[in-house]
Structure 1
Amino acid sequence: MKSYKFSVIVSVLLLVLYILAQIYKPKPLDWTVTLSQKDKNPFGAYIVYHQLQQLFPKATVTISRDPLYNKLYDESFEKTAYFAISPELGTDTLDIAAACQFVEDGNYLFISANELSKKLRDTLGISMTDLYTFNSKNSSAINFVSPSIKAAKNYTSSKAIVNNYFDSIKRPDSTVVLGTNDKGKANFIKVNCGKGAFFVHATPLVFSNYFIAKDGNAAYTATALSFVPASVTTVIWDEYYKLGRAGATTPLRVFLENEYLRWALWLAIVAMLLYVLFNIKRKQRIIPIITPLQNATLDFVKTIAGIYFHQKDNKAIAHKKLQHWLDFVRQRFQISTSSLNDDFVQLLVKKSGVGTGHIENLIHYVSVVETNTVSDKMLLEISNSIDHFYREAKAS
C-alpha cells in the first residue's frame, strides 16, 4: 500500500513539473502568417491595427467577424472605411455585390491579400501574379508612384519576398496606380467606384509586424493606409476572413481560449486517467455477506421439548431421557442394555467410574417410569441423576 501511494505521488509531481516546464519554457517564434489584430508574432497585424486610431483620430474602430455580405447588406454606412487585410480573401457573389454598393455610397474598402477570388478580380478588372515566397537572402523592394510621397530608398523585406503584383489592369480609366515594386509592376492601386473607392494592395505582408518593425518601413505602411481619407468616422477591421465567425464552437471554448485554463483542463484529464490506471487492479470486488447455516438439529430438539413441556407429559419426557441415557451407555462404553442386572451394574461401574448406588438408582427409575406416573419432583430427580452420571462419566 505504501509503495502504491509513493508511485502516485511521484507521478503527480513529475506531471506538475512537466506542465510548469512547458508553461515557462521560451516559446519558439511563430512565423505563421495570420495578419490578425491580436497576434504579436512576426506576421500578425497587432501594430497596424493599433495605428488605425492614430491615423483616423475622428473614427470609431470596430472589429467584424462576419462576411462582407452579412456586415454590409441592407445597412446604411457613411464615411466608413472597411479594412480587409488577410492571407486570402474568399469572397462570393453576394459579398462582392454588398461591397460594391458599400463603396458606391461613398465609403472605402481597403483590400490586401495574396489571393483574391476570381469574381472579385473580374469586378475590379485586374489579374494578379503570385510570387509570395520566403527567402532570407533576397529582398523585395517596393515604393509609391507619386513623387511627393515616394521615398528616396525603396522599402525592403529580408524575410518574406513580397513580389506579388497586378499583371493586368483592364479598367485604366477608373484605376489609379499608387505603388509599384522594384520591377515597375503595380502592386497598389485605387479603383474608383461611385462616390467611393476600392484600395487594393497585392502584398499584405507590408502590414505585418515584421515588415513595420524593420527600419523605415513603418512610414510605408502608414502612408499606404493614409490614402483612405482621414475624415472617415467609422473604421471596420475585418477578422472574419482570417479567423472565421466569432466564438469557438466547442462547449469548452472558455477553457480552450485561455492558456492556463487549458492546461488546468488537461491536468485534470491526465490526473483522472492516472487514478483509473493505478486503481484498476488495486480494488477487488465487494465480497458478499454469506449468512451462516443455522443449527437445525438444535431447533428440532427445542421444538420437540416444547411440545412435551406444554402437554405436561412427564412420563414421556422421563422415558425419553432414560432411553437417551441407555443409548449413551451403549455408544460410549460398548455395553448391552438388554438386561439391566447386577452384571450390567458392575460392568458399567468399572467402565464409567460412577458409583454403584447411583447407577442402581437410575436402573430403578427405568422400571418405575414404565409402570407408574411421573410427578414433577420425580422428573426433576431423574433429570439431575442423568446429568450427574454424564458429568462423572466424562470426567473419568
Structure 2
Amino acid sequence: MKDFKLYIGIASALMLVYVIAQYNKPNPVNWSTTLYYNDKIPFGTFVLYDRLYDFFPDADVTRTNQSAYSVFSDTTMMPGNYLIIANNLELSKDDYAEMVKYISKGNSVFISVFDWGGMVTDTLKLNQSAEFGKKAVGVNFTNPKLKRAENYTFDKHITDQYFKKFDTTRATVIGQNSLGHANFISYTFGKGKLFLFANPQVFTNYSLLKPASADYAQKALSYLPAGVDNVYWDQYQNHDIPTDESPMRVFFQHAALQWAYYLALASMLLFVVYEIKRRQRIIPVVEPLKNSTLEFVTVVGKVYYEQRDNANIAAKKILYFSEHLRTVFNLKAGVYNQEFITPLANKTGIDLLFAGELVRHINYLLPQKHVTDRELIVLNQLIEKFYIQSGSHGK
C-alpha cells in the first residue's frame, strides 16, 4: 500500500512539472505576412505605423477603410502622402483615375505590394518577378546621396521581388537590387509623384528592428515630402477593415430589417410570456376543514326528534347535568332528594328556591317512562338557568 502511494505521488509530481512546463513554454513564432498595422508579429507593420511620426513629425496620421475611388473623390480629402502597404493591389479604372487626379494636385502616393493588379499594371505596363534561387540579394538606391557603399542585405528572401517590366519612358528607377533589376520606381503626374516599391516586407517589424534594414526603409520613405500636414494609411487594399462576421449583420445593415427583427423578437417574447402564464400548473385550492359539530348536533337532534322519545332525552340531559355537577362542583348527584337541595345551592351559588325547583323537577322526571314536550322544555330551561346563575356554562 505504501509503494502504491509512492507511485501515485511521483506520478502526480511529474504531471505537475509537465503542466508547468507546458504553461510556460513560449508560443511559436507566427511567420505569416499580414502587413497589418496592428500586428506585432515579425511580418506585421506595427513598428512602421507606430513610428510614422518620426518620418513625418508635423503630420496627422489617418487610416482609410474605403476604396481608392471613395477616398480620392472625397472633397474633404486633404493634401498629403498616401501609403498603401499590402499583400496585393487591385485598382479599378475609376480608382486609378481618381488617384491620378489626387497626385496631379501635388500629392504623393507610395505603394508597396506583392501582387500588382488592376489598372496600375495595365496602364503603367507593369510586370513583377523574383530572383528565385539567389541568396542574399542586395538592394540599394540610385541616388548618390542615398546610395551606400555596400548593398543593403535582407534575409528570408525579403528583397527577392523586382519589376521585370515597366514603362521605361515614363518611370524613373530610384532603387535596384544587386543584379541590376529595379525594385523601386517613380512616376510623375502633374505636380505630384507615384512611388512603386516591390518589397513590402522591408517595412515589417522584422526588418525595422535591425539598424541597417531600418536605415534602408527610412531612406525609401524619404522620397515622400516630410513637411506635409496629413499622412494617410490605406487599410482597404490589405483587407484590414474590421468586419462583422455575425449572421445578424445583414439585419443590422438595413433599418427595415432591423425593425423587423426587433418586432419579431418582441412578439416571440410576448408569446413565451403568454404561454407560460396560460400553461402553468394550476395550484389546487385546499378547502379548510369544516366544523362538523353543528351538523352532527343537527343530525342527532333530528334523530331524537323523529323518534319522539322525550324520556330518553330527559334522562340523558339529567345524566349530563349530574356529570357536570361532579366534575365542576364535586357534587355527587346520585339521588335528587330534599337533602340535596341545600348542598347544591351552597356549592354552586344559585338561589335556594331555584335549587329546590330544579331538584324537584329532576326527581319527578327520573322515574317517568313518558315525558311530554312541555316537561322536557321546562327541564331544559331550568338546566340552562342553572348554568347562568352558577356561572359554569361551557365549563
Q: TM-score, normalised by structure 1?
A: 0.59
Deviation (angstroms), 1:27: 4.9
Q: 1:242, 1:365 → 2: CA distance?
A: 125
Deviation string 1:229-276 (CA, Å, 9 cap, x unpaired) is 33433221223333544686779xxxxxxxxxxxxxxxxxxxxxxxxx
Q: 1:155, 1:303 → 2: CA distance?
A: 121
Higher mean C-alpha deviation, range 293-302 or range 32-41:
293-302
Deviation (angstroms), 1:177: 1.4
Partner SS state of residue 98, structure 1: helix
- Work out whether residues 106 and 194 of structure 1, in 8 Å CA contact, stay in contact via their aligned partners in 2: yes
Deviation string 1:158-198 (CA, Å, 9 cap, x unpaired) is 235441222211x2111011222333322211122222121
- Work out whether residues 322 and 366 of structure 1, in 8 Å CA contact, stay in contact via their aligned partners in 2: no
- Work out whether residues 78 and 105 of structure 1, in 8 Å CA contact, stay in contact via their aligned partners in 2: no
Partner SS state of residue 150, structure 1: coil
Higher mean C-alpha deviation, range 148-157 or range 190-199:
148-157
- Work out whether residues 124 and 191 of structure 1, in 8 Å CA contact, stay in contact via their aligned partners in 2: no
Q: 1:320, 1:179 → 2: CA distance?
A: 139
1:150 paired to 2:152 = no
Q: 2:367, 2:169 → 1: CA distance?
A: 147
Partner SS state of residue 240, structure 1: coil
Deviation string 1:204-252 (CA, Å, 9 cap, x unpaired) is 000011012224111110111011133433221223333544686779x
Q: Percent identity?
A: 30
Matched length? 290
Summarize the alignment of residues 187-198 of structure 1 with structure 2, pairs less than 5 Å apart: 187-198=183-194
**Residues 303 and 119 from structure 1, CA distance in 2 versus in 1: closer, same or farther, beyond 3 angstroms?**
farther
Deviation (angstroms), 1:63: 2.4
Report the counterpart of residue 295 of structure 2 in structure 1.
300
Deviation (angstroms), 1:107: 1.1
**Residues 155 and 322 from structure 1, CA distance in 2 versus in 1: closer, same or farther, beyond 3 angstroms?**
farther
Report the counterpart of residue 291 of structure 1 in structure 2.
286
Deviation string 1:305-353 (CA, Å, 9 cap, x unpaired) is 7x97xxxx99669749958x99xxxxxxxxxxxxxxxxxxxxxxxxxxx
Q: 1:110, 1:47 → 2: CA distance?
A: 18
Q: Which runs of 5+ in 1 are unaligned?
A: 1-20, 252-284, 327-355, 383-396
Alignment RMSD (CA, Å): 4.6
**Residues 228 and 374 from structure 1, CA distance in 2 versus in 1: closer, same or farther, beyond 3 angstroms?**
same
Partner SS state of residue 32, structure 1: coil
For 1:367, which of 344, 366, 369 is the aligned residue?
369
**Residues 60 and 293 from structure 1, CA distance in 2 versus in 1: closer, same or farther, beyond 3 angstroms?**
closer
1:204 paired to 2:206 = no
Q: Which runs of 5+ in 2 are unaligned?
A: 1-20, 248-279, 317-333, 337-362, 385-395
Partner SS state of residue 375, structure 1: helix
Partner SS state of residue 52, structure 2: helix
- The residue type equivalent to 1:200 in the other structure is L
Summarize the alignment of residues 107-118 of structure 1 with structure 2, pairs less than 5 Å apart: 107-118=107-118
Report the counterpart of residue 160 of structure 2 in structure 1.
163
Deviation (angstroms), 1:372: 6.1
**Residues 167 and 140 from structure 1, CA distance in 2 versus in 1: closer, same or farther, beyond 3 angstroms?**
same
**Residues 322 and 97 from structure 1, CA distance in 2 versus in 1: closer, same or farther, beyond 3 angstroms?**
farther
Q: 1:22, 1:227 → 2: CA distance?
A: 48
**Residues 364 and 164 from structure 1, CA distance in 2 versus in 1: closer, same or farther, beyond 3 angstroms?**
same
For 2:217, which of 221, 225, 237 is the aligned residue?
221
Q: 1:375, 1:110 → 2: CA distance?
A: 126
Report the counterpart of residue 34 of structure 2 in structure 1.
34
Report the counterpart of residue 323 of structure 2 in structure 1.
none
- The residue type equivalent to 1:368 in the other structure is H
Partner SS state of residue 111, structure 2: strand
- Work out whether residues 314 and 379 of structure 1, in 8 Å CA contact, stay in contact via their aligned partners in 2: no
Q: 1:318, 1:156 → 2: CA distance?
A: 134
Higher Rg of the two aligned structures: 2
Higher mean C-alpha deviation, range 114-123 or range 222-231:
114-123
Partner SS state of residue 228, structure 1: coil
Report the counterpart of residue 377 of structure 1 in structure 2.
379
Report the counterpart of residue 62 of structure 2 in structure 1.
62
- The residue type equivalent to 1:168 in the other structure is K
Deviation string 1:63-89 (CA, Å, 9 cap, x unpaired) is 223322222104266651101111223
Q: 1:314, 1:32 → 2: CA distance?
A: 108
Q: 2:233, 2:87 → 1: CA distance?
A: 15
Higher mean C-alpha deviation, range 111-120 or range 23-32:
23-32
- The residue type equivalent to 1:108 in the other structure is S
- The residue type equivalent to 1:44 in the other structure is G
Partner SS state of residue 152, structure 1: coil
Q: 2:36, 2:370 → 1: CA distance?
A: 120
Summarize the alignment of residues 243-392 of structure 1 with structure 2, pairs less than 5 Å apart: 243-245=239-241, 291=286, 294=289, 298=293, 300-301=295-296, 304=299, 319=309, 322=312, 367-369=369-371, 373-378=375-380
Q: 2:194, 2:235 → 1: CA distance?
A: 18
Partner SS state of residue 226, structure 2: coil
- Work out whether residues 89 and 118 of structure 2, in 8 Å CA contact, stay in contact via their aligned partners in 1: no
Q: TM-score, normalised by structure 2?
A: 0.59
Report the counterpart of residue 119 of structure 1 in structure 2.
119
- The residue type equivalent to 2:232 in the other structure is I
Report the counterpart of residue 18 of structure 2 in structure 1.
none
Report the counterpart of residue 184 of structure 1 in structure 2.
180
Partner SS state of residue 115, structure 1: strand
- Work out whether residues 36 and 240 of structure 2, in 8 Å CA contact, stay in contact via their aligned partners in 1: no
Deviation (angstroms), 1:98: 1.6
